[in-house]
Amino acid sequence: MTTREIEENPTLNKGSLKTYQNNWLLRSGFNQLSRAFNDFRIILIEQIYIIRRYLVYFFFLNTVGPFALVFAMGHYAGFHPDQTELLRIISGTVTFALVTVGFTSVAQRLSIMRQQGTLLYYCALPINKVSFVTALLISRLVILIPSIVTPIVAGIIMYNLEIHLDLWLLGVMILGAFSLVALGTTLGVLVKSYELISLVCNAFIVVMALASPNFIPNYLLPLPLQVLGWVLPSTYTSDAISHCLAGTYDRVSYFDVLVLSVMALVGIVITGKFLKWSAD
């Protein structure tokens, strides 16, 4: 029965019309969600197919690099860190990998697609933007699995750390990656020069690693850098990962998760609603 038939039939009350409208909205929302998931699935398979030839090289580099970083940070100049400092080093290394995939990799991939002309192809398709960017992110997360696992294993083997592992850690890492997607997508969509994108990404990584409270406690940084750290998603990601690895869930860790959730939600809205996609 259509809406017009319900309105013209005097035997039916307004409750029937409201029920019909609610059912229609529910079906419409389900269809949109199903189409977005189908877009995500197809693009994810395509992106994994593209990078499959380089998986061995990616896995090797993403294993050696984090291992060397954890070793160097823990032994630099005779430095003997305690449990808390070691957990900060491990969480900082994992955050470094998440910044690489959530910000740098997405921005550079979009720029390469623009130069190759494939972004024009995707712009012409009736696909969901959020599904497209999410597929790019997840496909890059696959090759960064060693960068996430290696620091944790290295901490256990080299420093006999007692590390707490659960699903909260996985959720925090996914939120951390998504909180950076809006920045990477905005850069990749709006900036046309690949050289400029590479410069900005490298500068951001340096700031994140050396001038924000990831490897260094916040109170040891100058006030301007402390303020900068409050607005960087990587700060809350690193702190939340430290709490997860230590198994200490308190108000601070819940606040970190809340901030990351808000940043991830804002990033999804920006990506899907406000960015003007163009391949020019």
For the cut 60, the answer to whether the pLDDT of residue 21 exceeds it is no
Mean pLDDT computed over 146-166: 86
Give 218-274 pLDDT, tens digit per residue: 888 888 888 888 888 888 988 999 999 888 888 988 999 999 999 888 877 777 665
Higher pLDDT, 71 or 278: 71
Buried b (16+ CB within 10 A) or exposed e, 133-164: bbbbbbbbbebbebbbebbbbbbeeebebebe
Cα–Cα distance, 205 to 227 (Å, whole number): 17
Share of residues in the chain with pLDDT > 90 (%): 3
What confidence category does residue 177 fall into, taking pLDDT thresholds of 50, 70 and 90? confident
For the cut 50, the answer to whether the pLDDT of residue 122 exceeds it is yes
Cα–Cα distance, 116 to 39 (Å, whole number): 21
Cα–Cα distance, 154 to 63 (Å, whole number): 10
Give 185-229 pLDDT, tens digit per residue: 778 777 778 888 888 888 888 887 677 788 888 888 888 888 888
Q: What is the structure's pLDDT at 278? A: 58
For the cut 70, the answer to whether the pLDDT of residue 78 exceeds it is no
For the cut 70, the answer to whether the pLDDT of residue 280 exceeds it is no
Share of residues in the chain with pLDDT > 70 (%): 83
Run of H or E including 228 = helix 223-231
Distance of CA 8 to the CA centre of its chain: 51
Q: What is the mean pLDDT of the chain?
A: 79
Burial (0-12, 13-18, 19+ Cβ within 10 Å), 271: buried
Higher pLDDT, 202 or 27: 202
Q: What is the structure's pLDDT at 258? A: 93
Q: What is the structure's pLDDT at 255? A: 93
